[in-house]
């Protein structure tokens, strides 16, 4: 299983709800995303550190599923929402194929699809 995590900043922090709604729609609609969650950042220590305005976690069966997601219409629709207010993002991807503890797999993500 491949997990992708994104922490993003927006030029307009008020747009975070719209971005998160679009990510949650993508989780529900894209068959390549087997599990996921998206949330608006709470920004509780904003005076001390730079915070993400939103984050999402998407799980895919494998790298091929991630490539299909990147090339698909749901990703383009999501990008159309994010791109006008995009400032920056940090993204990491990692392989959970050998994960044996369900606490580190998509089984515990609230947006679980299957």
What's the pLDDT score for residue 94?
Answer: 93
- pLDDT given for residue 102 in this prediction: 53
The DSSP code sequence of 72-88 is SHHHHHHHHHHGGGEEE
Asked whether the CA dihedral 103, 3, 1, 83 is positive or negative, the reply is: positive
- CATH number at 2-108: 3.30.70.100
Given a cut of 60, is residue 107 above it in pLDDT?
A: no
Radius of gyration, CA atoms only, the chain:
14
Q: What kind and span of H or E run contains 38?
A: strand 35-40
Q: Is the pLDDT of residue 81 over 70?
A: yes
| C-beta neighbour count of 101 within 10 angstroms | 9
What is the spatial order of strands in the sheet that 54-60 belongs to? 35-40, 54-60, 2-10, 86-95
Record the pTM: 0.83
């Amino acid at each position: 299983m491949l997990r992708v995590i994104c922490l993003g900043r927006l030029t307009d922090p008020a747009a975070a709800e719209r971005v998160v709604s679009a990510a949650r729609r993508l989780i529900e609609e894209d068959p390549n995303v087997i599990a996921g969650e998206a949330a608006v950042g709470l920004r509780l220590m904003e005076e001390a550190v730079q915070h993400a305005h939103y984050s999402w976690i998407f799980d895919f069966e494998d790298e091929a599923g991630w490539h299909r997601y990147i090339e698909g219409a749901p990703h383009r629709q999501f990008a159309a929402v994010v791109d006008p207010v995009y400032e920056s993002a940090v993204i990491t991807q990692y392989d959970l194929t050998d994960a044996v503890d369900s606490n580190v797999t998509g089984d515990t993500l609230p947006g679980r699809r299957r």
